[in-house]
Amino acid sequence: MPIDVAAGYPQLKDAGVIMTHYTDKVNIEYYATCLLPRITNSKFTGEVKDKGDKVIIPTRPVITTKPYVKGMNLETEYPESDPIELEVNRARYWRFGLDHIDIHQMHVVLSDESKSDAVERMRIDTEEEFFEDIIGDAHASNMGLTAGAKSGAYNLGSAVTPLALTTTNIIELLTSVRAVLGEQNAVKKGMWIILPEWARFLLVNSDLKNASLTGDDRSVLRTGRLLEIDGLTIYCSNLLYNVTIGGNQCTYIPAGNGDAITFVAQMARARAFEAQNTFGMIYDGLHVYDWKVVKPEGLVTVLARKG
């Protein structure tokens, strides 16, 4: 909107004297940080990259030890294991078109900008789908009001009574997650937890006062990584699954180790081709993928709200 003029002074823009200028720079878009590659493993991707829609994953059998006394007859055990089936059932695509006249006349390469946006949206939509899908896949002892395979001593919240997190108890939640994994013998390198923004606020305003522990701003922006507490690498995401319980906004907070979830990306393709019914170009992309919780003992689900 042009600047107003005083009575009697002409609006020169309306007379075509002052032109409208278009910049060659495109306004930035804010995207949520995507963490899927950092919290899952892709060890089976190569096996299904170009063939089949299912991979059968053998499971190491469990061998039982027995007491022995001299001269006793030994019992022979024949080990069995139940394989895990990972089916590739998910796919997403994007497609947009541009007329040749617009392509010729535009002063920015809109096709490149749009393709970049489509790729980011694909990542975000896939990750939102992922976080919603895995909320019930943790081991039964790794969620709820009495989590802990040995003790049942840790409150991780439930659909009836979500955990009310505050600056006072949020560090206790992190150490509780570590303890729950410990009781499943699932403590190992690569443990993680993903907090929503409101829980990150509580964490940085808790007893964890040393801002230097969070690392430099560039690393946080680049990876979503905040810091490490009790062996858990802490990430932050805006893509976690939210529900409303008792009038409160609650978030399913996932945690675990790198072996818990396998992610398979079978195919990712993009193309550009001439439109058939008009003068123009069509740009599209396809992604075929899936995931499976292969070690539920290594996955933890917290249901919490801001207290």
For residue 115, being part of any structural domain is answered with yes
Q: How far apart are CA 111 and CA 31, in angstroms?
A: 19
Residue 24 has what pLDDT? 60
Predicted local confidence at residue 32, as pLDDT: 73
Q: Do the domain assignments include residue 45?
A: yes
* Assigned domain for 268 exists: yes
User: Can you give the residue range of the structural domain that contains 49?
Assistant: 40-307
* pLDDT computed for residue 298 by the predictor: 97
CA distance linking residue 172 with residue 20, whole number of Å: 58
Residues of the chain with pLDDT under 70: 1-2, 9, 12, 15-31, 44-52, 208-225
Q: What is the pLDDT of residue 46?
A: 63
**What is the number of domains present in the chain?**
1
Query: What phi and psi values does residue 222 have, to the nearest 5 degrees?
Result: -75, -40
Q: CA nearest 242: which of 148, 162, 140, 297?
A: 162
Domain membership flag for residue 35 = no
Structure tokens at 4: 């107003």
What pLDDT was estimated at residue 261?
Answer: 94
Ramachandran quadrant class, 261 (left: phi over 0; alpha: psi -120 to 50; beta: rest) = beta
Cβ proximity of 147 and 186 under 8 Å: no
CATH number of the CATH domain containing 252: 3.90.1690
